[in-house]
């Protein structure tokens, strides 16, 4: 690091690379103006050196429902858990997000608020960027860096500002750089009589550059059902051949709806934006009640919204409320040691009836019904350094999962078997019915029979008169679980963040408190230390 007093430090954190493009532009513009600037990802930046920083720019996105992206998690926790003195720090924050989510730009706002609490001096107001972020990001870069020129010394520079080309170097166009993976196998894992379907899919990665590890995910680019698009166009009385412009490219409305826009997932914000467009009394009443609009959005899609509250709107107005259709991520379910040129994924098929209409998930229905074995699908690798097996193969592990959350643990067990790791392995797995929903049953039982899986707790909620879940079994084994933790076991959770993961974390903290004979505060500190040293890791969705 250079002289911290005279250096502008620019930190970025995101999954797609949008915040990185803003940070890189900020560094280039700052150096063009003669400032001394350094740019780091939040993941690679030494957090303790934050104490030395006097001038700081942060560009960070928000993941899902208000969470920091994986790349920003450590710095986020560091800033929020440390009593830092930031009174001499000049800072500016760019918050990136998706306004269709409830907690728009929350991570950036949290950084801003925390830096202010620690005494930092905000040089300009926090910038906020939606999905179409380019113009707002460039404006923030220009205004923030210009402000820092009034604070920091600059070297001789004979160029004029008008010579600088304000362009974002986007490296997030993963679709154009995606690898087209051939589908080698598709099969349903549930047995006949199950109330749901889960699919195992195997893809060829031959001649790709992917070197994945257990814990990583693959993003799959999918398209919407043409039948759903036709229904939407018919309901709105649009011309399917109407020409629209999207990010500089012209296309027909129907093709754009098939390829570019989110139609199967509805968020409260999208409902609210639509309400602003049509001014429908019943819809206005719905959006005035936060709980009701959340319940409505949870099980409906765009077609439901425009059918339940019909009105005439312009094409451009309709498109303005829609979110971008993003890739869907699926955890790697195999070890590369077994099949380096192939990857296994576990896909939960989303399908249900609501208001006498059939609903299906965009990616799961795409993989199940709209592409066949032998065809190719565009994919990209999403590494996850925050969900990894212990470096020491003798370290015991505890894996807690439900449903498709079993995927990474299948990969973990394959990896441990192939490497002849001596560490003990304990798996908690939950689903609905044992006869029909014990995913990868034969393989898991083989792991158990051969001693790779030291302990197995399989819990099936609907096989009991009174439903039994994973966290119940964790609490029933609290003494042994705490013993494993005290012996250094790494604990992993993978599954639904709103239900299983929440209950499992709560049970884990209770076990730590009860078995460790700790106060609630001491148990929280114990758990936070587990997280900080990566003894506890989770991959939830």
487: in domain: yes
Question: In Å, what is the CA distance from 534 to each residue of 273, 279, 455, 521, 525?
Answer: 41, 50, 22, 20, 14
Domain match, 469 and 535 both: yes
* Cα torsion 265, 268, 269, 270: sign: positive
Domain match, 367 and 401 both: no
Domain match, 109 and 42 both: yes
325: in domain: no
Domain match, 239 and 286 both: yes
Contact between residue 512 and residue 526 where contact means Cβ atoms under 8 Å apart: yes
pLDDT at 173: 47
CA 268 remoteness from chain centre? 19
The percent helix, strand, coil of the chain (3-state, each to 5) is: 40, 25, 40
Single out the residue in 287, 320, 353 at which a domain terminates. 320
pLDDT at 2: 53
Token pair, residue 183, equals 């589908």
Q: What is the pLDDT of residues 305-337, one digit of tens each?
A: 999 999 999 999 999 999 889 899 999 999 999
pLDDT at 17: 84
Contact between residue 329 and residue 539 where contact means Cβ atoms under 8 Å apart: no
DSSP single-letter state for residue 305: H
Domain match, 237 and 304 both: yes
List, in sequence order, every beta strand (DSSP E) within 76-118: 90-96
Domain match, 312 and 376 both: no
Q: Domain holding 32: CATH number?
A: 3.40.50.360
pLDDT at 471: 96
pLDDT at 154: 83
168: in domain: no
Report, as ranges of residue numbers, the positions in the chain whose pLDDT lies below 50. 1, 158, 172-174
CA angle 472/473/474 to nearest 5° reads 90
202: in domain: yes
Domain match, 232 and 216 both: no
410: in domain: yes
Pairing of strands 490-495, 536-540: parallel
Domain match, 346 and 234 both: no
> Which residue has tokens 């728009």?
104
pLDDT at 4: 66
Indicate the number of domains in the chain: 4
Domain match, 144 and 48 both: yes
Token pair, residue 153, equals 């010394």
414: in domain: yes
Domain that residue 410 falls in: 397-540
Q: Domain holding 187: CATH number?
A: 2.40.30.10
Domain match, 190 and 139 both: no
Domain match, 216 and 246 both: no
| 483 contacts: CB under 8 Å, gap ≥ 6 | none
172: in domain: no
Question: In Å, what is the CA distance from 385 to each residue of 74, 110, 369, 492?
Answer: 12, 23, 33, 13
Q: Domain holding 504: CATH number?
A: 3.40.50.80
Domain match, 216 and 232 both: no
**E strand or H helix at 493, and its extent?**
strand 490-495
User: Torsion angle of alpha carbons 327, 328, 332, 336, nearest 10°?
Assistant: -20
170: in domain: no
């Amino acid at each position: 690091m250079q002289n911290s007093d005279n250096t502008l430090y620019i930190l970025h954190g995101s999954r797609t690379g949008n915040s990185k493009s803003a940070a890189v532009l900020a560094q280039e513009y700052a150096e063009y103006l003669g400032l001394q600037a350094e740019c780091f990802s939040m993941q690679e930046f030494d957090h303790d050196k934050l104490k030395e920083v006097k001038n700081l720019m942060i560009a960070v996105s928000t993941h899902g429902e208000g969470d920091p992206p994986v790349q920003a998690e450590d710095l986020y926790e560091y800033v929020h858990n440390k009593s830092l003195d930031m009174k001499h720090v000049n800072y500016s924050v760019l918050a990136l997000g998706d306004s269709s989510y409830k907690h728009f730009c929350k991570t950036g706002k949290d950084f801003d608020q925390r830096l202010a609490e620690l005494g930092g001096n905000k040089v300009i107001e926090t910038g906020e960027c939606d999905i179409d972020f380019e113009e707002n990001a460039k404006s923030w870069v220009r205004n923030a860096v210009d402000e820092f020129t009034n604070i920091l010394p600059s070297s001789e520079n004979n160029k004029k500002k008008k010579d600088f080309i304000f362009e974002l170097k986007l490296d997030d166009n993963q679709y154009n750089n995606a690898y087209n993976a051939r589908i080698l196998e598709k099969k349903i894992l549930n047995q006949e009589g199950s109330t749901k379907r889960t699919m195992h899919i195997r893809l060829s990665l031959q001649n790709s550059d992917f070197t994945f590890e257990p814990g990583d995910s693959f993003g799959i680019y999918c398209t919407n059902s043409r039948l759903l698009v036709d229904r939407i166009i018919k309901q709105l009385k649009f011309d399917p051949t109407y020409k629209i412009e999207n990010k500089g490219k012209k296309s027909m409305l129907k093709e754009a709806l098939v390829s570019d826009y989110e139609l199967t997932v509805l968020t409260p914000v999208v409902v609210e934006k639509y309400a602003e467009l049509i001014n429908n009394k019943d819809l206005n009443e719905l959006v005035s009640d936060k709980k009701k609009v959340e319940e409505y959005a949870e099980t409906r899609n765009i077609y439901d919204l425009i059918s339940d509250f019909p009105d005439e709107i312009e094409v451009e107005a309709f498109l303005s409320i829609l979110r971008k259709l993003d890739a869907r991520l699926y955890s790697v379910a195999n070890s590369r040691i077994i099949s380096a040129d192939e990857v296994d994924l576990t896909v939960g098929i989303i399908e249900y009836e609501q208001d006498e209409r059939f609903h299906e998930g965009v990616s799961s229905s795409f993989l199940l019904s709209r592409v066949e074995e032998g065809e190719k699908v565009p994919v990209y690798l999403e590494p996850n350094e925050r969900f990894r097996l212990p470096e020491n193969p003798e370290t015991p592990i505890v894996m807690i999962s439900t449903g498709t959350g079993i995927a990474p643990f299948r990969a973990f067990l394959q990896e441990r078997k192939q490497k002849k790791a001596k560490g003990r392995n304990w798996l908690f797995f939950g689903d609905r019915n044992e006869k029909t929903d014990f995913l990868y049953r034969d393989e898991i039982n083989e792991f158990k029979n051969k001693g790779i899986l030291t302990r197995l707790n399989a819990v099936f909620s609907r096989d009991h008169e009174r439903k039994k879940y994973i966290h119940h079994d964790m609490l029933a084994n609290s003494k042994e679980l705490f013993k494993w933790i005290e012996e250094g076991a790494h604990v992993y959770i993978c599954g639904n963040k709103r239900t299983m993961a929440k209950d499992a974390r709560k049970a884990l903290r209770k076990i730590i408190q009860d078995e460790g004979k700790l106060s609630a505060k001491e148990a929280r500190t114990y758990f936070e230390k587990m997280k900080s040293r990566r003894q506890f890791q989770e991959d939830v969705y």
